[in-house]
Chains A and B, each alone.
Chain A
Amino acid sequence: MTFRQARWDEPPIWELSTPIVAAGAPSISGVPERWIRKEALKWPELSELEVLRHYTRLSQMNFGIETMTYPLGSCTMKYNPRVAEVIARRKTAAELHPEQPVETVQGALEIIWRLERMLSRITGLPEVSLQPAAGAHGEYSALLMVRAYFRDKGELDRRREVLLPDTAHGTNPASAAMAGFTTRELPSKDGCVDVAALSAAVSERTACFMLTNPNTAGLFESDILEIAETVHRAGGMLYYDGANMNAILGVTHPGKMGFDVAHLNLHKTFATPHGGGGPGAGVLAANTTLAPYLPIPRVMKTGRKFRLDYDRPRSIGKIRGGQGNFGLDLRAFVFALVHGEEGLKHIARRAVLNSNYAAARLGQRLPRPYRPLVKHEFLLSGEPLKSRGLRTLDLAKRLLDEGVHAPTVYFPTIVPESLMVEFPETESRRELDEFVAAFERALDDTDEHLRAAPTATSVGRIDEVECARHPLLSWKDLRQDAPAPGAAAAPRKP
């Protein structure tokens, strides 16, 4: 096995040409001179080919799903179907301004309306909005809805607390805090919610309990119906973080589990591309109690015609500009259309099978906490590496040298030296076996090699602590950091 990532000594783009030194910008009739730039924008003038080469080289120094296995836990790195990319680039999809009259965007409204209906069936919650820009944005919007609901009920003064398990994604407590709630994290028992502890924690102060199911340990919260009853008995709302929905498509859904409001990540379960960190697309789904609070506008259908409805007096209003990430909604719609009922059920079966298979095999090499049956992902602990003076981080870096992406590391924090591994349905058994073999080679390699890893990537190990201690965040900082003029092209080792 040999893997070598491209290693271009590609300078920052502004070093590819001398920025023009012109005296300011062109004047514009009717605009007073005081407005006009005294110094022209400093950015390089390059030919189109020079720009293309620069970014093509950069792309070659980046892992992606079409080149390698990418088992990041809770990220659901599945294949992003090319057909959805083609469709999203149609003029009839891309060249639509959000303020066009509704008569000229009937197709877009129909896509939104139909996708909302599909997602309503998939989540088991009657009303859906595609407005949020991403999962965390959906969480935040949902908590604003919960807030507005309790305000209308006259209970907001006392319902100030959001409860969540210690396995929750970091976005959950962050969203709750932004929405003005205090947060309390409950310790898990055997990787799951401790119902007794939850019962003791809920009170008339509880606004909401936020839960991911299956959770970040990859375990299905089997006590979910009891959890729902406990929260509801205290008058609280139950929130579903849909990041891990891939595992349960068509088997159960938030509605059946007793959740009041949910978000889904279209960039996970519905295969829209992650783009190196985004864009994503969030989905909000709500029961009839919370639905009146969904963001505006809502897409309505009368006969064959679609329109935007702003007449929602209890709505929280707008949570972003435009009508949601329609470009991503369309890709997700194509994905759902191609799969249909049976295809979506198959996704859950295959993803869960993949993760259990890989868990069984990798569990022979590193300890696995909790019960063996998992859903979309599983945890390993790199604790035994400590006896070799190594850490999970060293293993993760060594995996990169095998030409596979590392799992999520050091999350969730309830397991020491954790690795969170997820194999979506689009990975074949051969890919899984190759990943297991790569993992074993990495584990069996010498301590020295693990500490020195990665060596096959475009750069070697990066000291992230140093990076934070001495932040260089733009070309201005780099210029100040440069050793001396003319020495910009520092010698690099081959």
Chain B
Amino acid sequence: MLRAIGLTVPDELFSDIPRKARIGRMGLGGGQEEAEAVRTVDKILDRNRPYSRFANFLGGRFATRYLPAAVDSVLQRSEFYTSYTPYQPEASQGVLQALFEFQSLWVELTGLDVANASLYDGATASGEALLLARRVHEGKRFLIPASLPWEEKSVLSNYATGPGLEVVEIPFEERTGRLDLARLGEEIRRGDVFGVLADVPNGFGHLDDHLFELRSTIGNLPWIVRADPLALTVLEPPASYGADVVVGEGQSFGIPPSYGGPGVGLFACRKELLRVAPGRIVGATHDKDGRRAYALTLQTREQHIRRSRATSNICTNESLVALAFVLYASVVGPRGLAELQRNLAEKARTIASALAGVEGLRSPRFDAPYLADFTIELGHGTAAEFLERLRKKAVLGGVPLKDPRPGAAGSPERILVSATETTDDKAIAKYASSARSAMAAMGGIR
């Protein structure tokens, strides 16, 4: 092959790289045979302890759901997982149709008009939605609930910083965790607001029934709802109470959490916002013989055409996880999904009452409806120590809600507790007894 291109030694292939820019050894060591590499990696991975080995109460934005085997068997078809973005639609009808079905499902769940073919994850989907809101409304300030997880606040601030926008937190009612509507109204009256975000369930896992009245409070401001897909199988679609955009994290539908990624960012909006929406979108059309066909469409919004004036910089998205999403929903089926959500909600109630009997612990902390997740608050001690004591008894007690950055504003010791499919009476009893001894060990009631 070298001869065919008129060269004699391989190094000539790199004659255009100046000597002064060349490197010596990288210091990576030798390669390993496949069998050896598997042993090496397994040895490292064996230092992990998967949540399935614990009484597990972790959830929130990432779910630890059981995944029907059929889902992954389809994902492993190389025609899906090794293909690129469908730039040649005639050769890529499979992934295009699957993405069209995915878009249709998110439209159905949210009640909105159009969905895109995915964004990176729930947090970045919120960020993209913030930018979209600014495209259709003047202003510098974006309002979010103070109950939003710290990670998402940080991501939103990063999306806001480029165009010089500000993210403003609206406090919640002490008793219910609901948005303080009076404060929200005040902030809007102060002016310069271009959009509002609220979530279902909220960062505490609870349902905020102020959302039904929110539209009348915010007038014609763009409103973004971040929603959990499983919750939307049983709850009224956010479009019915006035959402303009609904974003979410779809990891719980079809793939394991894999320590936080990949997931899939869900995005739907009203059709009036379509031309300023981010991300790839699949459209249905016909081929020249009139056969139903699908293709990427409205690409003039996108970076490869519009460059610096694109609606987003996103190129690679999460197509395979979007496929997992629609696969999972189809395998479990609409009745199965609603039943799953109902079951998890019932279990969550059992957990909450069991923990309510633990001295020094408020469970649930907020007086508001909830589904599979709710928040507890410790009367003394720290969430970090509490969770560490639980871990030693093989209980993963939930997600600590505190911002872990040093110097972050202090907040009460709260933990988001979630029901999972493996939650049973034994696990709940174990949580309650471990919680009791942890609270006792952390010292007296203040």
Contacts and interface: CB of A to CB of B under 8 A. Distances in A.
Interface stretch (B97-105, B138-146, B176-184, B216-224): B97-105
Interface stretch (A230-238, A249-257, A437-445): A249-257
B411 interface: no
18 contacts: A13-B326, A51-B70, A83-B38, A101-B396, A134-B316, A136-B316, A183-B307, A252-B22, A273-B82, A274-B82, A276-B319, A277-B84, A320-B121, A341-B30, A397-B88, A460-B289, A474-B107, A475-B108
B262 A327 contact: yes
Interface string B346-389: 10010000000000000000000111000000000000000110
A275 B371 contact: no
A361 B1 CA distance: 11
Contact of A144 (B2, B79, B90, B158): B158
B65 to A, nearest CB: 11
Interface stretch (A52-60, A193-201, A284-292): A52-60
Given A178-B131, A328-B262, A475-B104, A67 B283 contact: no
Contact of A133 (B93, B151, B261): B261
Interface string A377-421: 000000000000000000011001000011010010000000000
Interface string B234-267: 1111000000000001000000111111111000
B4 A340 contact: no
Given A52-B70, A95-B51, 5 more contacts: A28-B342, A64-B78, A90-B45, A170-B307, A400-B88
Given A136-B303, A321-B151, A360-B5, A62 B80 contact: yes
7 shortest A-B CB distances, which residue pairs? A322-B260, A275-B320, A340-B31, A62-B94, A98-B260, A277-B319, A279-B262
Contacts of A400: 88, 90-91
A90 B48 CA distance: 11
Given A173-B308, A472-B284, A133 B124 contact: yes
B330 A65 contact: no
A324 interface: yes
B34 interface: yes
B79 A60 contact: yes
A467 B283 contact: yes
Residue with the greatest number of chain B CB neighbours at <10 A, chosen from A265, A373, A375, A406: A373
Contact of A61 (B93, B263, B327, B400): B93
Interface residues of B, number: 194
Interface stretch (B13-21, B188-196, B424-432): B13-21
A256 B16 contact: no
Contacts of A222: 16-18
Contact of B287 (A411, A461, A478): A461
A344 interface: yes
A91 interface: yes
Nearest to A333: B41
Interface string A113-127: 010001001101000
